[in-house]
Amino acid sequence: MKRLWLVFSQAVTVLLAAYFVVATLKPDWLGRRPSLPAAGNVSLIEAPAPAPGTVPPGSLRAAAQRAAAAVVSISTSKTTRHPGSNDPWFRFFFGDQGSVPQTGLGSGVIISAEGFILTNNHVIEGATEIEVALNDSRKAQARVIGTDPETDLAILKIQLDRLPVITLGNSDALQVGDQVLAIGNPFGVGQTVTSGIVSALGRSQLGINTFENFIQTDAAINPGNSGGALVDVNGHLMGINTAIYSRSGGSMGIGFAIPVSTAKLVLDGIVRNGVVTRGWIGVEPAELSPELMETFGVKARKGVLITGVLQNGPAAQAGMRPGDVVLQVAGQETGNVSELLTAVASLKPGVPATFSVQRREESVALTVTPGQRPKPRQAAPR
């Protein structure tokens, strides 16, 4: 009896095991389908479709759409001779290499319906051909109207109809923390929009341009963005993206843009007169330092020290001397060399201006009639 029960239990166990294997691997053998969740039983949560024209909270879509159409890509080409082309031994071994073609990429901003485009001077410098590509895929050859290397700005012109034009903003109203967008053609990948904030204002003494008053931003700016637009949340032009601080060649969150206030002065000078006219007084300025203060016997604690005065220059004719410390130019305080240079450059040549100067313990007011700033050259008096 015990043996029969053992045989029975083993048979039941084997049958149950076989049943479970078949039910799992081949349920159709038993007339059953695999147990799958029915589509109607899957619970999904979907957001309601936004109404047409609805803008998500915090989106900068409107600013990008207003400004992007007026931002263009600039392609340049030029030919340069091989560095060794003038060496007879180089030509003997390698032959005449002839001209080497070079290409460049950058960005620009259409600022008027007449086809004027604002960009950086270094984008088009030395170029023999300049092609402008609009965001709507139209292309045109551009000609250079004028350049201003001291601010690294250039004005181009194209001949096309129905041009989109950007709205110029008030860069003087910008504050640190304001949101901005950088629009350009980085690395030639196509128009790209990045966002950030104004990190600092009035950046100078960076060694980039002669006249520096940069807007600093953490909006990503990369090679190819040069000459592109920095716009506010309304899509208004606030600056021309110009340079970055980088150890890798790419964006590290420190970019610099030329304020549109500076660009408008350059544009006005170039379009009206073909050149930017700036004031000049013929002095050699320096920052106040303990060594220089001791050398010249200076008692002032602020201002810009004059270490040299050009003979028969405007400053010399007005009575300015080495050792004088300039405190103000036409009522504008000058705390460093950059501020003095900018204040003097903004003066109209031939129109007298008052300079507040400290000469040892004495305060002196000098009336200086500035001349026209000469073209940039090595070691030129400012």
Per-residue model confidence (pLDDT) at position 379: 39
- Is residue 199 included in any domain, yes or no? yes
Nearest one of 311, 318, 313 to 359, comparing CA atoms:
318
| CA dihedral sign of residues 87, 89, 90, 96 | positive
Structure tokens at 101: 């073609």
- Is residue 29 included in any domain, yes or no? no
Q: Which CATH number do you get for residue 219?
A: 2.40.10.10
| Cα gap 158→350, rounded to integer Å | 35
Query: Using 50, 70 and 90 to split pLDDT, how confident is the model at 380?
Result: very low
* Same domain for 298 and 268: no
Answer whether 184's CB lies under 8 Å from 118's CB. no
Q: What are phi and psi of 300, to 5 degrees?
A: -70, 150
336-352: pLDDT as tens digits: 888 898 899 889 899 99
Per-residue model confidence (pLDDT) at position 152: 93
- Is residue 83 included in any domain, yes or no? yes
- Is 236 catalytic? The answer is no
Count of domains for the chain: 3
Residue 269 pLDDT exceeds 80: yes
Q: Domain boundary at 157, 191, 213, which?
A: 157
Instruction: Give the three-state DSSP class for 156.
Output: strand
Q: Which CATH number do you get for residue 307?
A: 2.30.42.10
* Same domain for 249 and 178: yes
Per-residue model confidence (pLDDT) at position 275: 82
Q: Which amino acid would we find at residue 16?
A: L
| Cα gap 313→216, rounded to integer Å | 36
Q: Domain boundary at 240, 273, 306, which?
A: 273
Which of the residues 152, 218, 232, 324 is marked catalytic?
Answer: 152
DSSP sequence for 353-371: EEEEEEETTEEEEEEE--E
Residue 238 pLDDT exceeds 90: yes
Residue 382 pLDDT exceeds 50: no
| Cα gap 283→329, rounded to integer Å | 14
Per-residue model confidence (pLDDT) at position 9: 74
Which of the residues 73, 75, 107, 226 is marked catalytic?
Answer: 226
53-106: pLDDT as tens digits: 777 788 889 999 999 999 999 999 886 655 555 666 555 555 555 555 678 899
Instruction: Give the three-state DSSP class for 147.
Output: strand
Query: Using 50, 70 and 90 to split pLDDT, how confident is the model at 368?
Result: very high
Residue reference for tokens 């803008």: 55
121-170: pLDDT as tens digits: 999 998 989 999 999 999 999 999 999 998 999 999 999 999 999 999 99
Per-residue model confidence (pLDDT) at position 208: 83
3-57: pLDDT as tens digits: 766 767 777 777 777 777 666 766 666 665 555 555 557 778 887 877 777 777 8
- Is 152 catalytic? The answer is yes
Which of the residues 73, 75, 122, 236 is marked catalytic?
Answer: 122
Per-residue model confidence (pLDDT) at position 335: 85
- Is residue 34 included in any domain, yes or no? no
- Is 248 catalytic? The answer is no
* Same domain for 267 and 218: yes
Answer whether 103's CB lies under 8 Å from 188's CB. no
Structure tokens at 270: 């170039």
Structure tokens at 158: 């194209």
Domain span including residue 285: 279-372
* Same domain for 290 and 223: no
| Cα gap 153→213, rounded to integer Å | 13
Q: CB neighbours (10 Å) of residue 185?
A: 27
Structure tokens at 316: 């010399």
- Is residue 49 included in any domain, yes or no? no
Share of the chain above pLDDT 70, in %: 84
Residue 108 pLDDT exceeds 60: yes
* Same domain for 202 and 116: no
Least confident of 243-252, 258-267, 290-299: 243-252
| Cα gap 71→228, rounded to integer Å | 7
Residue 115 pLDDT exceeds 60: yes
Answer whether 119's CB lies under 8 Å from 63's CB. no
- Is residue 381 included in any domain, yes or no? no
- Is residue 316 included in any domain, yes or no? yes
DSSP sequence for 21-86: HHHHH-GGGGT-------GGG-----PPPPPTT---TT--HHHHHHHHTTEEEEEEEEEEE-TTTT
- Is residue 23 included in any domain, yes or no? no
* Same domain for 260 and 192: yes
Per-residue model confidence (pLDDT) at position 146: 92
167-215: pLDDT as tens digits: 999 998 999 999 999 999 998 888 999 999 999 998 887 888 888 889 9
